[in-house]
Amino acid sequence: MKRPGVKRCAAALATCAAMAGPAGCVAADNPGDPFEGFNRVMFSVNEGIDVVVKPVAQGYDAIVPGPVRTGIGNFFGNIADVWTAVNNLLQGKITEGASDTARVLVNSTMGIVGLIDVASHLGLEKHTEDFGQTLGKWGVGEGPYLYWPIVGPSNVRDTIGFAADMSADPIQYIHDVRVRNSLDGVRLIDARASLLPTDKVIEAAAFDKYSYIRNAYFQMRRDAVYDGDPPPLEDDEDDGEENEK
């Protein structure tokens, strides 16, 4: 596993050196991404890993029937709801936290260990909160952008958040290694499969996939921290229209 990764790194570095021109790896001067060189190497490592993961996800997507997919999504979603509840409470959102707790109780019992999302049918809306968002809510800045293999786009704040998320993940505490690895594996493949429709869109839309994903991640996380209602950025005000008036 390690060797091809190293090889890819080297290949990526070589490419970097070869095209240190306009389209090269160090072209951007994005102030939010001071480690762009490192990140781009990690990005290509991840693209390498995806050569293996994507076909598995495609197979999974083709073979697993819709209702089973939904059940799997619900099952992991129910586990995630526990941590969402904790984070909503940490952010002082008592109503949401209580609603998420009720979701877990309802779905774990009436929803048969989370396989059926009964709570959503009862009007208990699903939220997704992680510790990175909680830190953001507490006023912790994002810090530089970071790209990790498997995990994908992140930043310093969300990397710390991710470590907390993992330490709070009940699946990581299952003693039976085979069960634990199977659950981790299915969760990863299911998550990758749900991104498949996005792949095609990004491939067509992006001039540079790396920076397209970086910008999208920045927007997405800002939106998540502010629960879908972020204040406008100073930059957004300048929409270039003034000269027409």
Partner 1 sequence: MKCLVPLLAGWLLALSCACAQENSPDAMIRKITEEVLSVVRQDKDIQGGDTEKAIRLVEAKVLPHFDFQRMTALAMGREWRKATAEQQKRLADEFRTLLVRTYSNALTGYKDEAVSYKQTRMQPNDTEATVRSEIAQPGGKPIRLDYSVEKQPDGWKVYDVIVTGVSLVTNYRDTFAQEVRAHGVDGLIKMLSDKNRQLEAGKK
Nearest-angstrom CA–CA distance, 62 and 220: 28
Nearest-angstrom CA–CA distance, 84 and 97: 8
Among 9, 24, 30, 49, binds partner 1 (CB under 8 A): 30
Q: Are strands 145-148 and 152-155 parallel, antiparallel or unpaired?
A: antiparallel
- By beta-carbon proximity to partner 1, the closer residue of 9 and 213 is 213
Q: Are 50 and 65 in contact (CB under 8 A)?
A: no
Burial (Cβ within 10 Å: 0-12, 13-18, ≥19) of residue 143: middle
Asked if residue 29 binds partner 1 (CB under 8 A), the reply is yes
Question: What is the nearest approach in angstroms of partner 1 to the Cβ of residue 73?
Answer: 2
Nearest-angstrom CA–CA distance, 67 and 30: 43
Question: What is the nearest approach in angstroms of partner 1 to the Cβ of residue 233?
Answer: 9
Contacts of 194 (CB under 8 A, 6+ apart): 73
Among 54, 69, 180, 209, binds partner 1 (CB under 8 A): 69
Question: What is the nearest approach in angstroms of partner 1 to the Cβ of residue 206?
Answer: 8
Question: What is the nearest approach in angstroms of partner 1 to the Cβ of residue 215?
Answer: 5
Residue of 38, 36, 45 whose CA lies nearest to 8: 45
| Stretch touching partner 1 by CB under 8 A, among 24-32, 87-95, 97-105, 154-162 | 24-32
Residues near partner 1 (CB under 8 A) are: 22, 27-30, 66, 69-74, 77, 117, 122-123, 126-128, 194, 197, 200-201, 204-205, 207-208, 211-212, 215-216, 219-220, 222-224, 228, 230, 235-236, 238-243
